[in-house]
Structure 1
Amino acid sequence: MATQTEYTHVELLTLKGPEYRRVSTAPPRPPTNDEIPVIDLSPIDGDQQARGELATKVRAAAENTGFFYIKNHGISEELIGDALSQAKAFFNQSVDEKKKVDRKKFKHFAGYHGLGSTQINRTESQDRKETFSLRYSPRHDPTNTQPGTQSDDEDDRLLWHGTSHIPGLRDTTIAFWQARLALARKLVRIFALSLNLPSNYFDDVVTHPGADGLYVHYPGTPESTNDETKLEVGIGSHTDIQCFTLLWQDKSGGLQVLSAADEWLDARPIEGTLVVNIGDFLQRLSNNRFKSTVHRVYNRQSGSRYSMPFFFGFNPESVCAVVPTCVDEDHPALYEPISCGKWHRDRLALASNKKSA
């Protein structure tokens, strides 16, 4: 006799109040190739036909689960390895050393976020992770010729002064951030094609984008913690805020993605790939054609887990509406235009207010 699947619900905070998603209580299962495909990015610099074929594959993934792996992405394994070494060097310091660049010292929440300082889902445990964040700065963007603000310069000076005792941290972290920024700008052109828009449709709104590079450390779980109901979540169930995310994860595993069938998928690391997932703002622009999917992380192993996400959005002042190719008589625009900066600030403020409530 077949076992009947049981379900529960996960609560997500939105600007319109809480939303609830049905979730199977079954253990995470491996994804099918359609649910989280591996897409070869080799054609990203190719001719129009090659890029069009790539965009077709990206569209299929974005409309399904909203997650996919990319290989041949152009970021060297050497640079990734160097960045990981720097992440470990930073997190291996004492708490007092890490707090020299505590997030509270920065206008835009760069720097260090300690263990238990965030709780992305109020119905789950506090996030069992610590992070080091690098925000967009025009001084580190090779394509930007506009000067930054005084606060940008002061934040940058304070961040690197507080970590100057770690050899190579600044140069490697910035180089890795720049490589992912360049890749994200190429990918956003593929996303434009996948929405049946000209490839340069979004070029004017990514000149000084939201571009946050993080190092994340999830401490190991004590071997005595065997009860799944008492296991602390590394980062709770959530969707990402901006357009899309590029993620490098180590071999530990732990990333779980909610499928269209309301089942948790085990998005295990694949050697030589990055994970890409759609964020809320791109779902908004696509009139819900692209899926910003719920995901979470558990570190069930006794050793540390490391990941390095890169969150990509549009210029903060750019007011963006649902794109014209996703609207017709049968599919009116579901969202009002909003600036990317306001969207980002309001979402971050929502999370902060709920945590302190």
Structure 2
Amino acid sequence: MDRIPTIDISPLSDPGSAAFAATVQGIIEACTGIGFLSITGTGVPQQAVDQVRQTTREIFAINESRKWDQAITRENYRGYIPMGFFTPNDGSGKADKYEGYKLHHEVAATDPVRAECALYGPNLWPAEVPSAKEVILDYWHQLDQVTDVLLGALESGLNLTPGILRDAFRNPMTNMTLLHYPPQAAEEAGYGIHPHKDTDALTIIAPDPVGGLEVQTRSGKWISPDCPLGGFVVNIGDMLELWSGGRLKSTPHRVVNRSGKERYSFPYFAVPRHDVIVEPLLHALSGFDRPAVHCGHWSAEIWRTNWPDEAADEDTPELGTLHD
């Protein structure tokens, strides 16, 4: 498949409808063919997307020194990610050309789950943008519901036990990254974000009008999603590829911002609960050979190896980094 289809997912709300099976089949064909699709009919209002985009702009407009005061640390991977701070996880290549703000599944500081996994906890919400928490968590909750619907469709389309995927996302490790990409000159080397595959289960992103997201087809071409206003771009990550025994495709993608404009985006990464073991739920396709992974360990290794002076080791699962 050398194109990214657009699918209206509204029929998924009525499993008894004539359009339900056709919608599920369309989603399966997209996820097994190219691993990306554009979706409409989510019920998420455009106003919610616009509010998050405006909030993202306001967060990156905060005074530089104050942003650094809220920077991520090795002990708390939440908050500001300075421009050019991270290189690809395997230590190769140049630093990516973005600044970010990292948010994880919000739990109270006293939540017992924090004793089981250090990646849980309260986020750093910038005082300079007082509406940020309410605006972003409301949007986040709506995408949680979209994720639940999509996982249900995948369960149906793959003939899995109903609920087997969705149940893994109760008290999940889902996270978001707010991103700001300055424009790159035509002759400027490097990427906004280097070519990679997502290591989560499912990614949902509201398309940015500036553009810059590119997806690699099976034939090796790079194409841009054609997503209508009010829709979302969805892609399969490594965890769902593993769960499906290689049927669902985790596809390389990258960001290159040569628009001459500032680009803002805010991808949502659906990640299961920390104690979930991700392993094939169906027999693996011929040639697909990936070991089972512990979700909490995999996530911790992703954050650890983001630091330039840290390296993957024999206990580190595959981290999605690709080479040109």
TM-score, normalised with respect to structure 2: 0.86
Please identify, of 64-73 and 198-207, the stretch whose mean Cα deviation from structure 2 is larger.
Answer: 198-207
In the alignment, residue 236 of structure 1 is paired with which amino acid? H
Q: What is the rounded CA distance, in whole Å, between the counterparts of 1:268 and 1:57 in structure 2?
A: 17
- 1:155 Cα deviation after fit: 4.8
- 1:138 Cα deviation after fit: 3.8
Percent identity over the alignment is 24
What's 1:25 paired with? none
Matches within 5 A, 1:135-154: 135-138=104-107, 148-149=113-114
Q: 1:133 aligns with which of 87, 102, 117?
A: 102
Is the counterpart of residue 279 in structure 1 residue 253 in structure 2?
no
What's 2:173 paired with? 210
What's 2:68 paired with? 99
Q: Of Structure 1 and Structure 2, which has the larger fraction of its residues in helix?
A: 1
Q: Deviations over 1:272-328 (max 9, x none)?
A: 11100010111111111111111100110222001110001211101132013x44x
- 1:351 Cα deviation after fit: 4.4
In the alignment, residue 305 of structure 1 is paired with which amino acid? R
- 1:152 Cα deviation after fit: 7.4
Q: 2:264 aligns with which of 295, 300, 306?
A: 306
Aligned-residue Cα RMSD (Å) equals: 2.7
In the alignment, residue 240 of structure 1 is paired with which amino acid? D
Q: 1:249 aligns with which of 207, 218, 222?
A: 207
Q: What is the rounded CA distance, in whole Å, between the counterparts of 1:268 and 1:308 in structure 2?
A: 18
- Provide closer, same or farther for how the CA distance between residues 80 and 152 of structure 1 changes in structure 2, counting only shifts above 3 A: farther
Is the counterpart of residue 116 in structure 1 residue 79 in structure 2?
no
Bigger Rg over Cα: 1
Q: What is the rounded CA distance, in whole Å, between the counterparts of 2:75 and 2:207 in structure 1?
A: 27
Is the counterpart of residue 41 in structure 1 residue 14 in structure 2?
no
Q: 1:56 aligns with which of 21, 25, 34?
A: 25
Which runs of no fewer than 5 residues in structure 2 stay unpaired?
313-324
Is the counterpart of residue 182 in structure 1 residue 137 in structure 2?
no
In the alignment, residue 303 of structure 1 is paired with which amino acid? K
Which runs of no fewer than 5 residues in structure 1 stay unpaired?
1-31, 141-145
- 1:67 Cα deviation after fit: 0.5
Q: What is the rounded CA distance, in whole Å, between the counterparts of 2:288 and 2:97 in structure 1?
A: 38
- Provide closer, same or farther for how the CA distance between residues 279 and 153 of structure 1 changes in structure 2, counting only shifts above 3 A: closer
Is the counterpart of residue 199 in structure 1 residue 162 in structure 2?
yes
In the alignment, residue 79 of structure 1 is paired with which amino acid? A
Please identify, of 94-103 and 288-297, the stretch whose mean Cα deviation from structure 2 is larger.
Answer: 94-103
What's 1:9 paired with? none
- 1:119 Cα deviation after fit: 1.9
Q: Deviations over 1:11-59 (max 9, x none)?
A: xxxxxxxxxxxxxxxxxxxxx8x62000101112112454333221111
- 1:219 Cα deviation after fit: 1.1
Question: Paired residues, what number?
Answer: 308
- 1:167 Cα deviation after fit: 2.9
Q: What is the rounded CA distance, in whole Å, between the counterparts of 1:110 and 1:196 in structure 2?
A: 37
Q: Deviations over 1:325-354 (max 9, x none)?
A: x44xx8597333322122222344444467
